Amino acid sequence: MILTNELLFDYQRCKRRSFLNAYGDLREVDPKTELALKIQQDSQTHRENILAEMNVEKLPYSRGNWAASARATLDLMRQGVECIANGVLLVEGTSSLPVESSQDAALLSRPDLLVKQAGKSIFGNWVYIPVDIRFSKRPKRDYQIMAAFHSLVLAEIQGVRPEVAWLILREKGKYTVDLAALMPLMSSIAAECFHTLDKQIEPELFISRHPCEMCRWFSSCHAIAKSTRHISLLPGVTSKRYEMLLKLNLTTVEALANVNPAELAIHLLDNCRGEPDVAAEVAATLKLQAQAVAYNMAIPLPAPLDFAAANLPTYPVELYFDIEAQPEMDLAFLHGVLVVDRTARRQIFYPFLAERPEDEGIAWAQFLQLVERYPQAPIFHFCEYEAQTVKKLGRRYGTPSSQWRSLLYRFVDLHKWATKTVVMPVESYSLKTLARWLGFEWRNKKANGAQCILWYNQWLENPEDRQHLDSILLYNEDDCRATYILKEWLSGFLNQVYRNHERLSS
């Protein structure tokens, strides 16, 4: 068993992913998405740009022949080469970790750079420190743990532990890792990871929506979770709450659907900052969520007064609004508005697009002109981003505050309505999940917000090809139509709940 820095890195983020990378059926791996390939390419370009600025000795990349690469690295270290790229550090055995291991155990580390520094080692009056080049702007903990692992393996080779390790971050430059603080934690994680992989102990499955969707094993894990109705698919079941539910033997949807919420709330106190009211609300919601899934039905919540059925009326004209943006450029490049005219029985989609970043103000002005043509129409959107962006653009382009503030009074956040008034048999309360449960489908099944950012970047790189813009417009229109579908369903559902309540009260 060889513990590599790649396996350890994955183990920090998901124990199961590390296990599957070591032992899983590669036929079940999802193909890399266009977005994942772009991130990988950008990361590699960033790395090559950094290396081009340095005087480095590059070792040829030789995956699979690690022993030969490790010997070549060791030769360069003995020679005292100033900076080694693509080095391989290989140590037989795991004596440096608090773990029992088999005879063929080894640790393998591949820092981006080994940089020579003054000091004492088995090589002479110099030592090497590990350096990783990261595309991130932040020194995330898992990156720092990797630097500590490099240092552990490097210490076995050169006879002395490096005093420091570096991360080279995008736009931020060099970051010094506090090895003394991180070594105990790294050793503990590495020992646990080695034991899990060496003994082939398959980690418990847990679906955590956002990180899992970026993993190439997601389809495989999700299929298992779906077939078993795994409770991690229930909204509100976080990893900490899942551990607590396991201890209570609440391991099925049916068990959670029949739990006593008052008893569950007691166990949730620590997870809810010790606040009994919060714990009681979470317990009640978890039970309702399990019931919704168990019976495949929407269940009304005792909604606050602001979310009464009468406050979500139907208007002659309604606007459905969605923005596409490029966060790194701080750019809102598309304002999509679906105008639903019930009197004329007509629906028209208006896209206000900034084909160039400098056209953002023009698209903003065009959006304002449209919404002011319908001063009485509510503006439905999903989540807070649209309202936040209207505030930002109003200030950025000197729009009179009375003008953009009056718009905000017309805004109706349907995500709030969906989460405050009803529990649905869904895995999340994202627009895509809710609309798909209602039978709506996006015309481009691979499209999402992150993909739109990539398409817009590709359009800017090649403005002769409008295919990427067309894909963005199609996706944005479908987002607006999905918002409309959700509003129609919510309005009908809440009115039915209101009528049932009135009938029972009379």
- CA distances 225 to 208, 222, 258, Å, are 11, 5, 21
> Topology of domain 2-198, per CATH?
Lambda Exonuclease; Chain A (3.90.320)
pLDDT in tens, 440-483: 999 999 899 999 999 999 999 999 889 999 999 999 999 999 99
Q: Which region, left, alpha or beta, applies to residue 345 given φ > 0 means left and ψ of -120 to 50 means alpha?
A: left
Residue 214: predicted pLDDT: 86
What pTM did the predictor assign? 0.89
What SS3 state is found at 262? helix
Segments of the chain scoring below 70 in pLDDT: 61, 101-103, 303-305, 309-310, 502, 505-506
pLDDT in tens, 268-294: 999 898 899 999 999 999 999 999 999
Q: Please report, as a single letter, which amino acid is at residue 229.
A: R
CATH 3.90.320, the chain: domain bounds: 2-198
Residue 506: predicted pLDDT: 63
Residue 236: predicted pLDDT: 94
Residue 309: predicted pLDDT: 66
- Measured CA to CA, the distance from residue 83 to residue 146 in angstroms comes to 19
CATH architecture of 229-297: Orthogonal Bundle (1.10)
Residue 100: predicted pLDDT: 72
Residue 307: predicted pLDDT: 73
8-state DSSP, 108: E
Residue 88: predicted pLDDT: 96
Residue 353: predicted pLDDT: 98
With beta carbons less than 8 A apart as the criterion, state whether 337 and 372 touch: no
Buried (b) or exposed (e) across 391-408, using 16+ Cβ within 10 A?
A: eebbeeeebeeeebeebe
CATH 3.30.420.10, the chain: domain bounds: 307-503
Buried (b) or exposed (e) across 87-125, using 16+ Cβ within 10 A?
A: bbbbbeebebbebebeeebbbbbbbbbbbbeebebebee
CATH 1.10.150, the chain: domain bounds: 229-297
Task: Decide if domain 307-503 falls under CATH 3.40.50.1820.
Answer: no
